[in-house]
Structure 1
């Protein structure tokens, strides 16, 4: 399979096939990982190295887009296998990689111990001396190829995206939305924003998308899932959808059945957009494929609404 610009998409195996990706970038025999998946994903990432004849000692860096566990839960385990690598992460995320106890406790509280172990496995600390807190624009050199870490809040305050000027591509984590290949049509990829809890900020997300589009990218590599082209169309669509989601949510700020109505409204929004995009049987396909994402997006909107209410009351 062709791997343009040495970029390898790795299915981390989280939840289902073609749901969650990490990326390997190979340049002149040196390598970088972007995101790690969960602790359960480490064998897949190491297998990608082995398949390309890249020694573990030749991996210079692991860059995390943010520390949500489907992106970063495996970072400590992966770093144990990569003796020369540094871990690059947003300054807000660095403490959680050095001491992941709070991440582990909060996730266990949400999912329960059994589901946590099944989905995520152990969170292993990364030695502080191996962690680099990346300021906005921090450059990582990979055999003369610069990977720029750009702060892109909106999905999370501690989110960064990686600009690869050589490939004219972004590695976007979650800020450029989610796009599953099952929803591709003759019109191309179908994308929706991800506002999952707890730090969704619609204005910041739109600003981050615009910042990414300003580079005129050829491709964006999403965690969920894979590389997409036609970036200007997708980014413009994401901005419009963020506005539509906010317009849906505001009237429901104090509704007693707010969560259910947010879920219902988001499902209707995405079904209609999918129909216009040419997705066959959209009314059945969208809830089946995006059900978990819709629930999380509704939760993210609810947390944002509560922040808005609290801010208005304190003004």
Structure 2
């Protein structure tokens, strides 16, 4: 399905603490979301999705009777295009907003030419446009570079930015003192609601290219837990609680990914072997979690992530050997 053919207004779920979860309908429903925060009349978007989804973010403001002028911040957790591809398009529509970006990522949002070139090399020009739409620059004067531990005020409440590598070096997470939760981007893994069971949410790491760093990720998990968070707001997908057990599960998964990769480091047709191993491992985890979805449904939901995870583990192996 072409994103341009989707409805202009995506489903939006009102959560607690003045937070809305907005399904940006990337690739499929409940795959990726952005969040709208309301704090005493001031607003912030966390994540921007792709430019195809920007009309849906603006439509939510309109439906809630909120003016675009009240948005103070647009905050992508990192510069991967499913999180930040739409920032330039969104910022054009929000006259008072500032873009908050990681120090390693800010320059790529000010001048996205390298992001575009890299994505075109992978997808081709036509497929890049289909998937992500326009990737527009943001004027440097409108960008706040969020150094580690920066705090910004939103309606009298603090948003705190902490450096959270492991999935990407240009990744931060946002601590919200009101909800006592983190907006985690991809660094608390992926948790698709279709895999929920009586045992709770299903969680898996994302080792997508090119900066999977297991040791750094484990330190990020330690730092998350030092805040005693009550909630983790994932981009893929929505909020999860019971944070400490999920962090332990994710830590185990990261270690298992390392083990799988090392076992296949010298294998012929390594990528294909890694991909098969990713599916086999994840199927076993889903079975243990009590997931009853048919295998073909599981495979369809996992296909993009398994391919990216296998690519990322291959790149990690090459980096270890260098």
Asked if these proteins are the same fold (TM beyond 0.5), I'd say yes
Q: Structure 1: state its 5+ residue gaps.
A: 311-315
Q: Give the aligned partner of residue 66 of structure 1.
A: 78
Q: Structure 2: state its 5+ residue gaps.
A: 1-12
Q: Does 1:101 align with 2:118?
A: no
For the residue of structure 1 that corresponds to 2:252, the secondary structure is: helix
Q: 2:207 aligns with which of 195, 201, 209?
A: 195
Q: 2:313 aligns with which of 289, 301, 306?
A: 301
Q: 1:167 aligns with which of 165, 171, 179?
A: 179
Q: 1:185 to 1:142 in 2, by over 3 A?
A: same
C-alpha contact (below 8 Å) 2:218/2:251 kept by paired residues: yes
Q: 1:7 aligns with which of 19, 22, 25?
A: 19
CA distance in 1, matches of 2:68, 2:238: 24
Give the TM-score normalised by structure 1: 0.96
Q: Give the aligned partner of residue 178 of structure 1.
A: 190
C-alpha contact (below 8 Å) 1:270/1:286 kept by paired residues: no
Q: Could you say what the CA RMSD is over the residues aligned between the two structures, in angstroms? A: 1.2
Q: Does 1:157 align with 2:169?
A: yes
1:270-293 superposed Cα distances (whole Å, 9 cap, x missing partner): 111111111014644432211211
Q: 1:38 aligns with which of 50, 56, 64?
A: 50
Aligned pairs for 1:215-254 within 5 A? 215-254=227-266
C-alpha contact (below 8 Å) 2:14/2:20 kept by paired residues: no
Q: Give the aligned partner of residue 63 of structure 2.
A: 51
For the residue of structure 2 that corresponds to 1:147, the secondary structure is: strand
C-alpha contact (below 8 Å) 1:59/1:82 kept by paired residues: yes
CA distance in 1, matches of 2:294, 2:249: 18
Q: Give 1:214 shift.
A: 2.1
C-alpha contact (below 8 Å) 2:20/2:35 kept by paired residues: yes
How many residue pairs get aligned? The number is: 310
Give the TM-score normalised by structure 2: 0.94
